[in-house]
């Protein structure tokens, strides 16, 4: 060994931007060729798209019909109810972002940035007031939540649990607020057949996701049950539903359910679609969860049993928490595909965002504007799907603390 050891830096061609380019894009002659060809393709397509988007495209089809895209045929003079729901949700989101750290806070910051952009954009005065209200609710919620996060441990966990309950209560509250009551002057009834656009898409997805989760978990546990009746029922249900396309289930909910119901009883179309989607998603979710249950080593169960825990406690505290963590990616994937599958409600006549798009295109004024409309709808779906995906990655990372 030499007494005078110098730290030798890596060669200049291996570090920094130049090193990165060299290593990843120009390492061999054929990689160089591929890089150049790809750059040409990206440039040509990108520049043509930009030229089209900035000159030829008539985005008026979106801006003029924005209310339709958002709420469909919801009576315009009652749209304040939807805004109010959004403000309540903003407040809760702000509270959540304040009281929890990490992902929720990042998403909250993203939401705040979105609201700021919306406030700046040249909307009508009424719309702008609601945007400001949303931003305000988010900020107030955040400050309150942040204050609560400084509370001592036991009080904070009470606040967190309270907030979770508040979210669930709010979902029910929102449903009543939107629906209203027959004969009420302030909140006249607005039947769910008048709900539409993104509002309806969200309702379909959100309620189906929330309702399918517990059903799916129970089915997964049921399929592994030692009681033959329970396990046979669960298996039959899962295999039957998975063997049928969602479209078929939606048609059945549409056409067959009324046949079996007693004469006067009628169930709203929206509800039937939600039930169909929930039952469909639950079957797939059950199989995801079952995969997670099987991945838990038997030693975990034995260790818990040896401590004297009974089967219910072992499932509740040891098996399920670990299994559900393992299947977060699979379940979020399922929820994303459910979110996109809400567009299938078009075939049973619901006015969700895609079918609003079709009716907009049917207006004489906007004939032939398919590209703009479908791009806009695709962008909406992409943004929300990506947020879900991002949240799931963050959740995985956050829950991975105790990973083996």
Q: Which is nearer to another protein, 299 or 368 (CB)?
A: 299
310-329 residues near another protein, rule: CB under 8 A: 310, 313, 317-318, 321-322, 325
The CB-of-290 to another protein minimum distance in angstroms stands at: 19
Q: Which is nearer to another protein, 212 or 322 (CB)?
A: 322
Q: Which is nearer to another protein, 166 or 399 (CB)?
A: 399
Are the CB atoms for 250 and 275 separated by under 8 Å?
Answer: no
Residues of 35-48 as b/e, b for ≥16 C-beta within 10 angstroms?
A: eeeeeeeeeeeeee
The CB-of-309 to another protein minimum distance in angstroms stands at: 6
Verify binding: residue 402, another protein, rule CB under 8 A: yes
For residue 245, give Cα distances in angstroms to 107, 120, 249, 252.
34, 44, 7, 11
Q: Which is nearer to another protein, 145 or 292 (CB)?
A: 292
Token output for 20: 């990165």
Torsion, CA 108, CA 110, CA 115, CA 121, rounded to 10: 180
- Give the contacts of 201 (CB within 8 A, at least 6 positions apart): 339, 342, 343, 352, 353
Distance (Å, whole) CA 47 – CA 236: 54
Nearest Cα to 352, choosing from 197, 214, 203, 208? Answer: 197
Size of the site for another protein (CB under 8 A): 23
Verify binding: residue 403, another protein, rule CB under 8 A: yes
Q: Which is nearer to another protein, 243 or 308 (CB)?
A: 308
Residue with tokens 């679609």: 273
The CB-of-303 to another protein minimum distance in angstroms stands at: 4
- Give the contacts of 231 (CB within 8 A, at least 6 positions apart): 222, 223, 224, 225
The CB-of-98 to another protein minimum distance in angstroms stands at: 24
Binding mask 369-398 for another protein (x = CB under 8 A): ------------------------------
For residue 317, give Cα distances in angstroms to 223, 259, 297, 305, 387.
19, 44, 14, 12, 30
Token output for 226: 């030692």
Q: Which is nearer to another protein, 285 or 318 (CB)?
A: 318
172 φψ region: left (φ > 0), alpha (ψ -120 to 50), beta (else) = alpha
The CB-of-100 to another protein minimum distance in angstroms stands at: 18
145-174 residues near another protein, rule: CB under 8 A: none
Q: Which is nearer to another protein, 152 or 308 (CB)?
A: 308
Are the CB atoms for 69 and 196 separated by under 8 Å?
Answer: no
Binding mask 282-311 for another protein (x = CB under 8 A): ---------------x-xx-xxxxxxxxx-
The CB-of-327 to another protein minimum distance in angstroms stands at: 14
The CB-of-395 to another protein minimum distance in angstroms stands at: 14
Are the CB atoms for 76 and 67 separated by under 8 Å?
Answer: yes
Distance (Å, whole) CA 333 – CA 191: 32
The CB-of-289 to another protein minimum distance in angstroms stands at: 16
332-371 residues near another protein, rule: CB under 8 A: none
11-30 residues near another protein, rule: CB under 8 A: none
Token output for 204: 């379909």
Q: Which is nearer to another protein, 12 or 226 (CB)?
A: 226
Q: Which is nearer to another protein, 38 or 294 (CB)?
A: 294
Q: Which is nearer to another protein, 288 or 322 (CB)?
A: 322
Distance (Å, whole) CA 378 – CA 353: 10
The CB-of-90 to another protein minimum distance in angstroms stands at: 32
Verify binding: residue 31, another protein, rule CB under 8 A: no
Residues near another protein (CB under 8 A) are 297, 299-300, 302-310, 313, 317-318, 321-322, 325, 399, 401-404
């Amino acid at each position: 060994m030499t007494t005078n050891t110098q730290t030798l830096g890596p060669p200049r061609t291996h570090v920094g931007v130049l090193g990165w380019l060299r290593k990843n894009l120009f390492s061999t002659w054929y990689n160089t060729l591929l890089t150049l060809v790809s750059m040409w393709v990206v440039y040509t397509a990108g520049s043509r798209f930009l030229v089209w988007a900035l000159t030829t495209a008539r985005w008026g089809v979106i801006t003029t019909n924005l209310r339709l895209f958002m709420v469909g045929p919801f009576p315009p003079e009652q749209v304040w109810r939807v805004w109010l729901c959004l403000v309540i949700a903003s407040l809760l989101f702000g509270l959540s972002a304040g009281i929890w750290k990490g992902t929720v806070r990042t998403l909250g910051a993203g939401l705040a940035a979105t609201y700021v952009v919306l406030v700046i954009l040249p909307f009508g005065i009424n719309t702008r007031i609601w945007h400001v209200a949303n931003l305000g609710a988010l900020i107030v919620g955040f400050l309150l939540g942040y204050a609560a996060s400084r509370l001592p441990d036991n009080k904070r966990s009470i606040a967190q649990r309270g907030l979770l309950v508040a979210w669930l209560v709010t979902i029910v509250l929102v449903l009543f607020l939107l629906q209203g009551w027959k004969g009420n002057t302030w909140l006249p009834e607005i039947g769910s057949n008048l709900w539409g656009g993104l509002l309806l898409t969200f309702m379909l997805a959100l309620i189906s996701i929330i309702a399918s989760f517990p059903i799916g978990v129970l089915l997964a546990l049921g399929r592994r049950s030692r009681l033959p009746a329970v396990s046979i029922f669960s298996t039959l249900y899962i295999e039957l539903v998975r063997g049928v396309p969602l479209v078929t289930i939606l048609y059945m909910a549409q056409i067959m359910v009324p046949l079996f119901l007693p004469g006067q009883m009628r169930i709203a179309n929206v509800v039937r679609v939600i039930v169909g989607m929930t039952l469909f998603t639950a079957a797939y979710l059950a199989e995801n969860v079952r995969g997670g249950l099987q991945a838990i080593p038997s030693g975990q169960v034995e260790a818990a049993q040896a401590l004297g825990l009974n089967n219910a406690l072992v499932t509740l505290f040891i098996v399920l928490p670990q299994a559900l963590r393992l299947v977060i990616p699979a379940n979020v994937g399922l929820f994303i595909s459910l979110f996109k599958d809400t567009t299938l409600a078009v075939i049973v006549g619901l006015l969700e965002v895609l079918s609003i798009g079709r009716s907009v295109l049917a207006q004489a004024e906007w004939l032939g504007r398919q590209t703009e409309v479908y791009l806009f709808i695709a962008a909406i779906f992409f943004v929300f799907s990506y947020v879900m995906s991002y949240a799931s990655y963050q959740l995985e990372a956050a829950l991975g603390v105790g990973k083996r």
